Structure 1
Amino acid sequence: MKATVPVTVAGLKTACSQCNLVELCLPFGMSENELDRLDELVGARRKIKRQQNLYRAGDPFEAIYAIRAGSFKTDVLLEDGREQVTGFQMTGEILGLDGISTELHSCNAIALEDSEVCVIAYAKLEELSREVEGLQHQFHKVMSREIVRDHGVMMLLGSMRAEERLAAFLLNMSQRFTARGFSAAEFHLRMTREEIGSYLGLKLETVSRAFSRFQDEGFVAVQQKHIRILDSAGLKRLIQHQPCGR
């Protein structure tokens, strides 16, 4: 059985203070009476063990999920049996939007480490959006950010060479860690190189060669999944097709 923990309004204010969904859960200007109704929106927290599914493709869509702690990957099963990674999500980001249109989830969401999510019942979200001014608008802003991110990935895969894709991926991860108050230059990647390759449309061997080249060039220092970015400007020049000599 999946463990769930009830959430209080006071707890929500603390838990969401660093979350990208703060605009959704605690819209600016909400009255105290409206804040009291947040228990209807976020009714539980769910703990997900590493490698456990939050949901699977084909599961009924009932909620979206704000990642309170940990990280996830989403993937789909291709016709030939291979898994195609479609995204990596971390603390403060959302999961589950894939199920809105068909009311069935179209991908799998799997924890990359022991994680915790806030469960936002979609039916309650729609109901509360009709009663709380501005909530629906804020939710649309959250969805728009997800669309923009997806478009960024499409540009990444469609216009960049292998090493450029990996450089862009590392810089993106750096930016996302920075936004959460962590170091921009040193972080731990929870996903495997094979999963990175699947996401970037690259073979495992290609990802490994690119990491080796980045180390040789002095762009990064890599120890298993631990990454230190030594020359972010060099990675940016690589993406911008500029000479990398210093």
Structure 2
Amino acid sequence: MATHSKVVDIKTLKVSCTDCSLSELCLPRGLDEGELEKLDNKVLRKKPMQPGDQLFGNGLPGKSLYAVRSGAFKTYEISTNGDEQILGFHLPGELIGFDALADNYHHCTASALVTSSACEIPLEQIQSLCSQLPSLQHQMMRIIGKEVNVDHEMLVLLGKKSAEERLATFFLNLSRRYQDRKLSPYEFNLPMSRMEIANYLGLTIETVSRIFTRFQKQGLIDVNRRLVHLKDVEELRGLVMENEINRSDVS
């Protein structure tokens, strides 16, 4: 499928509050110039982080939210037997740290997948600004609601969908998120490894590798290391929808 959109290298994608192409995805959405300046004055911009560096850790006090500025992060938990369970992948413009809102402690760890950076917004400052700026409060509620929807979709993904549907849904989700960032929805670099994709989707690495190969043979995708080209998005959507209809007929 032809496209004139730019192929994204996630390591070079950068955003800021005052000059941000992703403002509709982050906290600045809906703020006027004066309100944006108030928010910008409270934001702490952290130095670039290398792959594996932690943004915050499980069990540590949670005093801030973090907006991904460049690169990509993963959030994960470590089980009692030492196994990692990936909870999500986070791209520029997305916020991390909501897990600490309930009791002021983080219940997962966030670490960089590639060279990345993030903006830190102290929760005290957010609470103060929300009381002054109804538009910011509205945006916070919208983002939290979106987080709830993502959690619900993940439960359905793991509980109801086949391995093929899980990977197809994963690709379609990334495609939509890159399109939201005005980048190519058809061709992009994966910041995560296949092992990490398998972990997130509740599959084995062998199963994920087999489905990658199957999708390529079916002409749905092309893969060159971590560069993925979605050749037939409609067929990927059809794969997910067809199986959902079949399950409905059986039930």
Q: CA deviation at 1:97?
A: 0.6
CA distance in 2, matches of 1:21, 1:232: 23
Alignment coverage as a number of residue pairs: 228
Question: Structure 2: which 5+ runs fail to align?
Answer: 1-15, 244-251
Instruction: Tell me the distance in 1 between the aligned counterparts of 2:43 and 2:204.
Output: 40
- CA change 1:221–1:125 in 2 (3 A) is same
- Determine the structure 2 residue equivalent to 1:19: 23
Alpha-carbon distance in structure 2 between the residues aligned to 1:26 and 1:195: 31
Q: Partner of 1:7 in structure 2? A: none
- Aligned-pair distance for 1:150? 1.4
CA contact (8 A) 2:18 2:40 kept: no
3-state DSSP class of the match of 1:86? Answer: strand
Structure 2 matches for 1:22-37, cutoff 5 A?
22=26, 24-25=27-28, 27-28=30-31, 30=32, 32=34, 34-37=35-38
What SS is found at the alignment partner of 1:54? strand
> How many percent identity over aligned positions?
37
Which residue in 2 is equivalent to 1:157? 158
CA distance in 1, matches of 2:85, 2:158: 14
Long gaps (5+) in structure 1:
1-10
Distance 2:48 2:125 in 1: 21
What residue in structure 2 maps to residue 221 of structure 1? 222
What is residue 232 of structure 2 aligned with on the other side?
A: 231
Change (3 A) 1:220 1:17: closer
2:96 is the alignment partner of 1:92:
no
CA distance in 1, matches of 2:133, 2:109: 32
Query: What SS class does the counterpart of residue 18 from structure 2 fall into?
Result: helix
User: Could you say what secondary structure the match of 1:136 adopts?
Assistant: helix
**Contact map agreement 1:40 1:124 (CA 8 A) in 2:** no
Deviations 1:136-173 (A, max 9, x none): 22211111111111111111111110011001101111
| Contact 2:24/2:30, CA 8 A, preserved across alignment | no
Residue 74 of structure 2 corresponds to which residue in structure 1?
73
- Give, in whole Å, the separation in 2 of the partners of 1:149 and 1:204: 23
The structure whose RCO (Cα within 8 Å, separation 6+) is larger is 2
1:74-110 alpha-carbon deviations (Å, 9 max, x no partner): 1101122110000000011011111111211110101
Letter in 1 for 2:18: K
CA change 1:209–1:127 in 2 (3 A) is: same
Q: Provide the C-alpha distance between the structure 1 equivalents of 2:65 and 2:135, rounded to a whole number of angstroms.
A: 19
Q: What is the CA–CA distance in structure 2 between the aligned matches of 1:102 and 1:50, rounded to whole Å? A: 28
Structure 1 residue 20 displacement after superposition: 4.2
Q: Secondary structure at the match of 1:18?
A: coil
SS of the equivalent of 1:119 reads strand
Q: TM-score under structure 1 normalisation?
A: 0.87
The TM-score normalised by the length of structure 2 is 0.85
The one-letter amino acid of 2:232's match is: D
Residue equivalent to 2:147: 146
Residues 20 and 89 of structure 1: is their aligned pair in 2 closer, same or farther, counting only changes over 3 Å? farther
Contact 1:26 1:35 in 2 (8 A): no
The one-letter amino acid paired with 1:18 is: L
Q: In the TM superposition, what are the counterparts of 1:100-179 in structure 2 within 5 Å?
A: 100-179=101-180
Structure 1 contact 73–112 (Cα < 8 Å) conserved: yes
TM-superposed CA distance for 1:21, in Å, is 4.3
- Which SS does the other structure have where 1:169 is aligned? helix
Q: CA deviation at 1:132?
A: 2.2
* Bigger share in strand: 1
RMSD, matched Cα: 1.7
* Alignment deviations for residues 41-92 of structure 1 (CA, whole Å, 9 cap, x no partner): 3133442222111011011101001111110111101122110000000011
